[in-house]
Amino acid sequence: MTRSDDAPAEHVFKLLVTGPFAAGKTSLIQAVSDTPVVETDVDTSGDEASVKSSTTVAMDFGTYAIDDGGVRLLLFGTPGQRRFWFMTDILKGDVDAVIYVIDADASHTHTEAGEAMRALLRDLRVPLVVAVNRCDDPAMAVLLARQLGTLASEMAVPCQLIHRESGREVVVEALLAVLDRLERQGVDMLDPVSRMLQTAGAT
């Protein structure tokens, strides 16, 4: 059955895309969003201007539809610069899962990222997927995620977030983690899950 374009999604999930400065959060949302991305990048100020000329100061917002629109993901991206971290507190309400983006090559950011990530998860208690950007090696992605403090049950996805297909793998993993949790809570999501997996397998 094909859904009409204006049919409301059966299931809407909110994903928080967060992580250190310049990790690739905005890139992920730009890569996967089906709708024009709302961005708030302005010229970077301070020492970090030498790393990247623009930075997110409030939020990114994009969407991603799966299962012919039956499942709709709302992607909220946070700023990475410390002085804008208060935005994470504003954006994190009612999230269904966290995508924590790190840059595999930026090892100087990993200790602080791990502390921030675990504090966020202690607070939110939702599924986590770690997107290990600029990384092609699954074993390395798992190793870096474990160093950040992930649990064995939490997924680490190696990715190149400037590419849509790579970003798509990350958001599908996040959705699977949400659905797995709902299933364990006894929420009947089996139909959307199986349809979604068929869609994912077909592309």
Ligand X SMILES: Nc1nc2c(ncn2[C@@H]2O[C@H](COP(=O)(O)OP(=O)(O)OP(=O)(O)O)[C@@H](O)[C@H]2O)c(=O)[nH]1
* Contact positions vs ligand X (CB under 6 A): 21-27, 52, 55-56, 79-80, 133-134, 160-162
Site string for Mg ion, 179-198 (x = CB under 5 A): --------------------
The string of DSSP letters for 71-135 reads: EEEEEEEPP-SGGGTHHHHHHTTT-SEEEEEEETT-GGGHHHHHHHHHHHHHHH---EEEEEES-
Token readout for 79 is 């700023």
With CB under 5 to 8 Å by kind, the binding choice for 32 among ligand X, Mg ion, none is none
Q: How many CA atoms lie within 13 A of 160 on its CB side?
A: 4
Binding residue for Mg ion, selected from 18, 30, 33, 56, defined by CB under 5 A: 56
| Contact (Cβ atoms closer than 8 angstroms) between residue 10 and residue 192 | yes
**Does residue 30 touch Mg ion according to CB under 5 A?**
no
Question: Which among 130, 168, 134, 156 is positioned nearest to 33, based on CA atoms?
Answer: 168
Nearer residue to ligand X within complex by CB, 39 or 67: 39
Question: How many angstroms separate the CA atoms of 94 and 145, rounded?
Answer: 24
With CB under 5 to 8 Å by kind, the binding choice for 109 among ligand X, Mg ion, none is none
Supply the minimum distance, in Å, between the C-beta of residue 200 and ligand X. 21
With CB under 5 to 8 Å by kind, the binding choice for 160 among Mg ion, ligand X, none is ligand X
Supply the minimum distance, in Å, between the C-beta of residue 60 and ligand X. 7
